[in-house]
Amino acid sequence: MLKKTDPVDAFQVERLTVDYDADSGGPLQDFSLNLRQGEITCLLGPSGCGKTTLLKTLGGFVVGRDTGGVLFEGRYLNGPTPDIVMIFQENNLFPWLTVRGNVEFGLKFKRGVGTQKREKVDDMLRIVGLAEAADRYPHQLSGGMRQRTAIARALVSDPHVLLLDEPFSALDISLRRRMHTLMHDLWEKTGMTMVMVTHNIEEALQVGHRVIVLGDRPAKVLIDADTSADAMKDRYSPESLALQQRIESVIY
């Protein structure tokens, strides 16, 4: 698969150390990694290996010790920024707002949108295929529709980066595959940097241009694979099967 732009770094993680509990040792110690702009990177690894912590540091929700840090577009991240938006596995949507209300929430605190607000929300609802469901409330939606609403709300504010924390793990296999297609369509349209944490190897290979497997504690990069080639998108191709086996042997 072709990349839209020449890859440059969106994130530079430099000697990052995160200690939730100083006695037990943090999940990330002196950890370094670069993530390229305009790519979909998938983070895989066993539970507790530090992939969600890494994702939170990329969003500025967790700030590590001052011995290192995360550089985003060349500047150190000190906290959350509207340029980097995160989507969670659940509890993304506000139950008292309709689909439209939830998507509009993405622009509520953004200056300079003004009269374009409705137009932008309508466009985004069309892109994620929810124009017909705009007046429904979250409890009236399927799991896939809820996650599409969350994606629409995240994207309507034109962020530079989308972070996804196991966003499709609660969905069944057919919905999950439709969401993978949606993610690719969105990436084709926006060329946005996306970083997704997942437990599903097949999902990582399908969606990601790059798959990073973390392991051990504190976390280490065990595999860093380029999965942008078309052969990697065919789950039964020899290249894909070989990588799947390699990842399985490292994780399990």
Contacts with another protein by CB under 8 A: the residue count is 23
Task: Supply the DSSP symbol for 138.
Answer: G
3-state secondary structure of 38: coil
Position among 157, 198, 227, 240 found at the interface with another protein (CB under 8 A): 157
Nearer to another protein, 133 or 213 (CB): 133
Does residue 24 interact with another protein by CB under 8 A?
no
Of 64 and 159, nearer to another protein (C-beta) is 159
Q: Are 215 and 181 in contact (CB under 8 A)?
A: no
Report the C-alpha gap between 121 and 100 in whole angstroms.
Answer: 7
In the chain, the N- to C-terminal Cα span, in Å, equals: 29
- In the stretch 33-72, what mask flags binding to another protein with x, by CB under 8 A? --------------------------x-x-----------
Parallel/antiparallel/unpaired status of strands 9-18 and 69-72 = antiparallel
CB of 174 to another protein, least distance (A): 26
Could you say which residues in the range 202-231 bind another protein, by CB under 8 A?
none
Walk across the sheet containing 220-226 and list its strands.
84-87, 161-165, 193-197, 40-44, 210-215, 220-226
Residue 116 makes contact with another protein by CB under 8 A: no
Under rule CB under 8 A, residue 147 binds another protein:
no
Among 110, 126, 189, 235, binds another protein (CB under 8 A): 110
* Residue 186 CB, nearest approach to another protein (Å): 18
CA distance linking residue 170 with residue 143, whole number of Å: 7
Interatomic CA distance for residues 21 and 26, integer angstroms: 6
Which residue from 22, 47, 109, 174 is in contact with another protein, where contact means CB under 8 A? 109
Q: Is 91 in the site for another protein (CB under 8 A)?
A: yes
Segment interacting with another protein (CB under 8 A) among 92-100, 174-182, 207-215, 239-247 = 92-100
Do 84 and 56 contact (CB within 8 A), yes or no? Answer: no
Q: How far is the CB of 117 from another protein (least distance, A)?
A: 14
Closest CA to 46 of 220, 242, 240: 220
Q: Which is nearer to another protein, 153 or 176 (CB)?
A: 153
The Cα–Cα gap between 103 and 189 comes to: 19
**Of the candidates 208, 192, 218, the residue with the CA atom closest to the CA atom of residue 247:** 208
Chain residues that interact with another protein, rule: CB under 8 A: 59, 61, 80, 82, 84-86, 88, 90-92, 94-96, 105-106, 108-110, 137, 139, 153, 157
